[in-house]
Amino acid sequence: MTTSDSGAHGSSAPGGRDAQLKHTGLRPGWTTGACATAAATAAYTALLTGEFPDPVTVTLPKGRTPSFALAVESLTRGPEREAMAGVVKDAGDDPDVTHGVLVRVRVRALPPGSGVVFRAGPGVGTVTRPGLPLAVGEPAVNPVPREMMREHLGRVAAGHGITADAELTVSVDDGEEIARSTWNPRLGILGGLSILGTTGVVVPYSCSAWIDSIRRGVDVARAAGRTHVAGCTGSTSERTVTAEYGLPEDALLDMGDFAGAVLKYVRRHPVPRLTVCGGFAKLSKLAAGHLDLHSARSQVDKHFLAALAREGGADEELAAAVAGANTGLAALQSCAAAGVPLGDLVAAAARDQAIGVLRGAPVTVDVICVDRAGTIVGRSAPR
């Protein structure tokens, strides 16, 4: 086994995102699927030739051709001949939980006609619930990375006049521990991480993995026959909505700031009832029409809150106090003291915005606003 400096080298960011990334100065990275493809290609090449290409170059779905240095490699000779290669994932400037993980692929030849078979090694999860794009019992190596590995092994095999017939065991060092901080346990992916990626490229701060997890959460809930799901901004709102409705874990969607991601996916994949539950300030942004609730991308509009307060009976003095409040919570407290139900008004406005995004999908929506302790400070009727 040898070790070397790990990393990948390639052209600039893909497609129309080049200018955006250059403007921000953020460096793109590589998905676990791209790393697994590089490792599988190197290991299979070594299995056929006895030599590991290092670095190993792969072609990603949109045409990029990065080269990956191998972090580990080994070749076992004899009747149980197999090869293993590993690549360290570089997520670029994205705050990715899997940045720096070592993705290994062990390759063993199979009889002609077997095709490429995938196995879950240590640190890679196994699917245990329906609703995901993989069958129950399959290793959590997503369809696009599987296709990438099949294509690359096929090219290597064709160069030797054979077909690619091999067993690929994909593993991630410390993957089982890292997976506990991801959605995988809730989605029914047990034992480790998923091997992900549709383009092979990690775009910094695109939060694509989070949004993909939201979508898979809806898929799992639908497959389990859930008729009521809840999009929650955090653990506090999850506890509140669970206490209110007794929803099982697989009906809870960790929405975070991505209200739009939940609503747009549920529009295409309806569930009979959706509850949106979150902090008052965040949901006041949804009420004002924002679908991304992150503080860097939307702000609490206190003039909007003042207008709602007037609708709820606030006089001009109170409305001015709301408009000039330091925080959304301060505005809420001022209205509560005067008997103006600002929390309910925000919840109703957020519900109406959500219904607008759903565009007639057969989904009944209600909204619950909570404070930081999880106390309900506003709610809408279902509609």
Q: For 149-158, 194-203, 324-333, 350-359, which range has the lowest pLDDT when averaged over its residues?
A: 194-203
> Where a domain ends, among 140, 170, 202?
202
Lowest mean pLDDT of 55-64, 74-83, 176-185, 222-231, name the range: 74-83
**1 pLDDT above the threshold of 60:** no
- The DSSP line for 335-370 is HHHTT--HHHHHHHHHHHHHHHHHTT-S-EEEEEEE
Q: How far is CA 301 from the centre of its chain?
A: 29
**How much is the pLDDT for 25?**
66
- 241 shares its domain with 357: yes
> Does residue 114 sit in the same domain as residue 8?
yes
Asked if pLDDT for residue 256 goes beyond 50, the answer is yes
Cis peptide before 248, with omega less than 30 degrees from 0? no
**Above 50 in pLDDT, residue 13?**
no
Lowest mean pLDDT among 155-169, 194-208, 296-310: 194-208
Asked if 275 and 176 sit in the same domain, the reply is: no
121 and 161, same domain (yes or no):
yes
Collapsing DSSP to helix, strand or coil, 28 comes out as coil
Q: What is the pTM of this model?
A: 0.78
Query: Does residue 176 sit in the same domain as residue 56?
Result: yes
Region for residue 15 given its phi and psi (left: phi exceeds 0; alpha: psi -120 to 50; beta: otherwise) = left
pLDDT at residue 208 in the model? 82
Q: Is the pLDDT of residue 16 over 70?
A: no
The H-or-E segment that residue 184 falls in is helix 184-187
As for how many domains the chain has, the answer is 2
Q: What is the mean pLDDT of residues 252-275?
A: 96
CATH number of the domain within which 173 lies: 3.30.2110.10
Half-sphere exposure of 97 (CA within 13 A, CB side): 21
Of residues 257, 252, 250, the one with CA closest to residue 238: 252
Average pLDDT over residues 341-346: 98
Which pLDDT does position 94 carry in this prediction? 80
Residue type at position 360: G
Q: 117 and 194, same structural domain?
A: yes
Residues 132 and 242 in one domain: no
Same domain for 366 and 238: yes
Mean pLDDT taken over the chain: 91
- DSSP annotation of 27 reads P
Say if residue 212 is in the same domain as residue 76: no
**Per-residue confidence (pLDDT) for residue 303, from 0 to 100:** 96
**C-alpha–C-alpha distance, residues 185 and 208, integer Å:** 19
Cα–Cα distance, 108 to 265 (Å, whole number): 40
- Tokens representing 243? 């206490």
Average pLDDT score over residue span 204-228? 90
Q: Of 73-82, 199-208, 226-235, where does mean pLDDT reach its minimum?
A: 199-208
pLDDT value at residue 21: 43
Q: How far apart are CA 190 and CA 140, in angstroms?
A: 9
Instruction: Evaluate whether 9 touches 78 at the Cβ level (below 8 Å).
Output: no
Query: Which residues lie across from 56 on neighbouring strands?
Result: 68
Residues 95 and 180 in one domain: yes
Q: What is the pLDDT of residue 205?
A: 65
Q: Which pLDDT score is estimated for 2?
A: 32
Three-class DSSP labels, 147-170: HHHHHHHHHHHHCCCCCCCEEEEE
Residue 101 in this model has a pLDDT that exceeds 80: yes
State the pLDDT at residue 222.
98
Structure tokens at 275: 């509850």
DSSP secondary structure letter of residue 295: T
* Nearest alpha-carbon partner for 7 in 92, 99, 88, 103: 88
- Which residues on adjacent β-strands are paired with residue 109? 166
Residues 140 and 271 in one domain: no
State pLDDT tens for residues 29-42: 999 999 999 999 99
Domain boundary among 202, 232, 253: 202
Q: Residue 93: is its pLDDT beyond 60?
A: yes
Residue-number span of the structural domain to which 149 is assigned: 2-202
Contact 367, 241 (CB under 8 A): no
Cα separation, 12 vs 10, whole angstroms: 7
- Using the predicted structure, report yes or no on whether residue 5 has a pLDDT greater than 80: no
Q: How far apart are CA 124 and CA 110, in angstroms?
A: 22
Question: Hey, what are 126's tokens?
Answer: 């196994």
Residue 201: the pLDDT is 82
Average pLDDT over residues 229-256: 96
Percent of the chain at pLDDT above 90? 81
Query: Residue 82: is its pLDDT beyond 90?
Result: yes
Upper half-sphere CA count for residue 191 (Cβ side, 13 Å): 17
Q: What kind and span of H or E run contains 283?
A: helix 280-287
pLDDT at 9: 40
The answer to whether 196 and 145 are in contact (CB under 8 A) is yes
The better pLDDT of the pair 29, 203 is held by: 29
Average pLDDT over residues 309-319: 97
Instruction: Among 202, 236, 259, identify where a domain stops.
Output: 202
> How many CA atoms, within 13 angstroms, populate the side-chain half-sphere of residue 86?
20
Q: Do 240 and 330 fall within a single domain?
A: yes
